[in-house]
Every structure is written in C-alpha cells, then in structure tokens.
Amino acid sequence: MLGRMCAFVLVAEDDEKQADLIRRYLEREGHTVGVVHDGRAALEQVRRHAPDLLILDVMMPEVDGLGVTRVLRAGPRPGEHPGLGAAPGASTLPILMLTARSTEDDLLLGLDLGADDYLTKPYSPRELMARVRTLLRRAGGTAHLPPPDPDARVLRAGGLVVDERRHEVTVDERRVECTPGEFELLAAMAAEPERVFTRPQLLDRIHGSSGYISARTVDVHVLNLRKKIEANPRAPRRLVTVFGVGYKLVAHHETGHGTGHGGAGAEGHSGAAARHEA
C-alpha cells in the first residue's frame, strides 16, 4: 500500500451506473479504483487487497453497508461470513458511507459502527471528491500524499499519548487502534488538554466546512473513543463531558471510581445514546 503512486480506493455500490460514475471521478484524480457490487465481495476485496479507502453504499445485497462496516471494525460473528478471516488494517480503514437514507438516526448508526464519514444521495462530484481527499489526508500512508509534517507533535495527556507523525495512540503504553476521524478528534483535544471544545468546534476539526454534517457525529466519535481509551466507558475520566458546553480531555486523571464528570454522557454505546446529551 505504501509503494503506490496513488491511493487504491475500493467502491462498493450495487448500482452499476453510479459505481462507474464514482470510478471515473476517482480516476480523474489519479487514484486506482476497484469496484464491487455487493457487501460480501467488498469484504473479500478488503481482505485480499488492503485498500487505502472504502466507499461503501448502505443498501447492497448479500451484506449491506452497515454489516460490512461492523465486520471490518469488530470482526465477523461466530459462523458469519465464513472464509473471510481477518482483514489486515480493517479496523482503521477509512470508510465513506453513501446512503439514500436521510434520517439522523440512520446516519449516526453508520458512524457508531465505525464509518468515518457519510454522504447522502444525491451528492455532487465535488463534494464526493472533497470527502475522499479529507479522509486520505487524515489517514496518510499513501505515496501520492505529502510526506508527514516534520513538525508533527507527540501529544501527551496523562497516560494518553497521540503521536501525530506515526499516527499512533497509546493509553498507559497500550496501543489503541483509532479510525482516521477518531484520531483527528483525539489529536485536536490532546493538543489543548483541559480546553473545553464545543461540538461545532470539534466537527470543524474533523470534517472542515465540507457540507452539512450533524454535530451529533461528534458524540458518536466520543462514545467510540471512550470504549478504547477509558477503563470504564460509562464513567469516563479522560475524555469527559462538560454539560451544556461540550467535551474536554483531562490532562491528569486519577485512578479509581468515577467522579461524575461525564458519567451520564458515557451511558450507552449505540447511536441512540449519542442522540442524548453526551
């Protein structure tokens, strides 16, 4: 993957005309593109070819986009998708979800399962390519992108370390796998520990100004991060809620039982929970 002159993007879209259109947009920007038309084929291609980015339609036969995302992020359930095995790098593979569903609940469910971003149909080619560029920039590691910033920092907040140059997160010396969106959010907060960020401020850090994205997507990223960096995600002590304002990363947290900082905001690990004050 690192030796390519451009990114390899896998497109999983059951509408052949739509898939061909996306392929042409991507190829115009110099990317290598693979196309599949169902979820099972998408999982097989991820395992075999380790793409740099997956563009994934929600409504597909065999396995829908939500099912694909769940398997890539969490692995198959017992007896599910036999023969696929674990896909190297699948837990951090950038996923851009395409959906005709426009309700916030459906969109948040995709993010809760581990998608990094979404577009609702119909969308403009310009918007699609802006999202692709953003996700590839966050992920890094493709040869056509600029080399890592030599001034990239190693950010520390207590036992949490965010290494921007190596794109790694460790918690108490334990490595944590983060999606590109999760990493971007955590890096922004680790750069200014104890600062209270509002949802719009964090949303701007991870998505910029590219179209309408619900501020509730931040809640989903926070919930997913808490599962990875907190000893008890229901009583967070690192990434805490400041009620009525937003979130902050605690510079030095004490071990022991929760203090009430953000406890209510951590309850529930689903998209439904993210729709309440997190």
**Does residue 25 fall inside a structural domain?**
yes
Ordered per-residue pLDDT tens for the chain, 278 residues: 444 448 999 999 999 999 999 999 999 989 999 999 999 999 999 999 889 999 999 989 888 999 999 999 876 555 555 445 456 667 889 999 998 866 667 777 888 888 988 888 888 888 899 889 888 887 764 434 445 555 568 898 888 999 987 888 999 999 998 887 888 899 999 999 999 999 989 888 776 655 556 677 888 889 989 999 999 999 999 999 999 999 999 987 555 443 334 443 433 333 433 433 44
Does one domain contain both 124 and 195?
Answer: no
Does one domain contain both 172 and 86?
Answer: no
**Does residue 3 fall inside a structural domain?**
no
**Does residue 148 fall inside a structural domain?**
no
Does one domain contain both 185 and 110?
Answer: no
**Does residue 168 fall inside a structural domain?**
yes
Are the CB atoms for 259 and 201 separated by under 8 Å?
A: no
Q: Which domain holds residue 173?
A: 154-266
Does one domain contain both 228 and 125?
Answer: no
Does one domain contain both 135 and 185?
Answer: no
**Does residue 146 fall inside a structural domain?**
no
Provide the number of structural domains found in the chain: 2
